[in-house]
Structure 1
Amino acid sequence: MLHRSGFTGTVGTVFGLLALLLWGAQGATGAPVTRTAAAPASPHAAADDTCAVRAPGASPTAERAVAAACAQVAADVWYTWGGGHGPQPGPTYGMVDPSDPASEHDPQRLGFDCSGLVRHAYAEATGSDILNGVADAQYYTHRAAGRFTAAQGLDPLVPGDLLVWGTPQHIHHIALYLGAGRMAEARQSGTKLMVSDVRLGNGYYGAVRIDPGPVAGPVFRTWGAGVWTKARPSTAAARVYAFPGPTTIRVECQKHAETVTAEGWTNDAWSYLPDYGAWVTNIYIQGPAWLDDVPTCTT
């Protein structure tokens, strides 16, 4: 026997369902709902976990660099401290990082650290080892086509740009931008290469765009270790960055300024390095005291 209370509840449920269906068909305002087809996916769209070029604007070289890095992500390669810094680009066994207990297995893991992955990606893209060095050297590369500050955010960036974290004195992490706020990175010991959200703030310093073509401006080699560049052509000026060892630099111009005596030499010539936004005494640049084919600074 069906009790009245059960019948009433059943009828109420039926009418309630009908009301919901009618409301859904017309929308909250009573107007008919128009169903539209979903917009076609962008050719650069990708699932959140997919490593790929995710935005337009990159050069063919930058897109090849992203593809090379993403191939390593897809291969489930390990982060390993010091990995990727062998005689040739490519994965290598790592080392123990004395400051990171998670690195204890890195000597048994074939992989990359952050700059090793960047080195490999651009070597694959260009056929030449153009970014051989740690994160500092890669950010301050003389092959920069453009530089972007943290304050500019991600809007001016395109896939293949290199994102960095740290300070002018020490860049401690580097990653490849994919577009749409995502990046490919070798992050830390105990993890695999990964796709991550770009971590703005938290030490984000800016980005650099790589130009694999001919370098604009005179290029020289430095010598010495721990050589500081300065905010002005003076030994009393603020320190900007110290070369850990000999490196390649691009010189924009030179001028006579404070006389410096160091390493048994005395010179008043200073060179402006556009990639560092800083000056260095010519004493530490290989060549004559006044560099050949370098113009005099006019400002």
Structure 2
Amino acid sequence: MKIKLMLLAVSLVSFSSASAGFDFGKLLEERLSKELNKDKQTQPTPAQTTTPAPAAAQSAAASPPPANQKIDARQLGFALFGDYSLEEENRIGRQISGNLLGAVPLVRDNKLQNYVNLVGKWVALQSGRQDVTWHFGVLDTEAINAFAAPGGYIFVTKGLYRLLNNEAELAGVLGHEIAHVTQKHHLKVLKQSSLIGALGQAASSKAKGSDQVVQNLIGNGAEIMARGLDKNAEHEADRAGMVYAARAGYDPWGLPSVLQDMAALPAGDNRTSLLYKTHPHPADRLAALGEAVDGRLDAVRGKELADRFYRIK
């Protein structure tokens, strides 16, 4: 029955991704990339040489690597076969999160933040990433969205939180974002970016101290946060998020219920301006979930815990 209800959302009125009013997405993208732009403006123009730079380096970054940093086969090897260490993942996540919080602060409600962290960390225990120190927060904006950054940094907006009806729905939303971290979706995009050609050597050297290399990477990280991952990553996170919530003892249909509520929002609602830039339409996500689940979770009996759900005053 729930899958049938879930699939009904596909026939809801189609929405336009353009919204009038305050564009939170534009603000976020501008604020996240502010420091990068500042660094680019202060960098001197490189002198011309008679020997052309490698093609990968020319297309990879606006500024050349330091003189003592040579681009060699090890860089190419990292881009093709390497991976970020946990330390590097944490550094990238801290930088992205710091930039995000510089644009939008947390809600000043300690009980709310503690509650979301308790639920989030319990769901995260079901994900298999025991090496990550998880951090959860509710952002003080009425925009409807949620974000994840490498290293276990998860944020839900106040606007999205207000749509939730019970703890199972919160667990489903957090499970989706947790899956982005466990599947390393953002790190995969950063690895595939053109910056890796010039910065791969520095990233793989586990340099201590200054996070300038990380901040340069966040130039692409800002775009990821403001424009989102591809639809395959979002669908994968939806599937994994349902499983994590179910493992944690919650009703696995919490996330689909939230997607239904979001799909039912009126067209032109300015709270969804960034949502439709960073995620596929909720109706499309419901359809993909219905096809993937196909009754496999019908026998799962989890809890909704509406009476325990913390409501914003």
Task: Note whether the superposition's TM-score is higher than 0.5.
Answer: no
Larger proportion of strand: 1
Q: TM-score range by the shorter chain?
A: under 0.3
User: Higher relative contact order at CA 8 Å, sep ≥6: structure 1 or structure 2?
Assistant: 2
TM-score by length of 1: 0.23
Larger Rg: 1
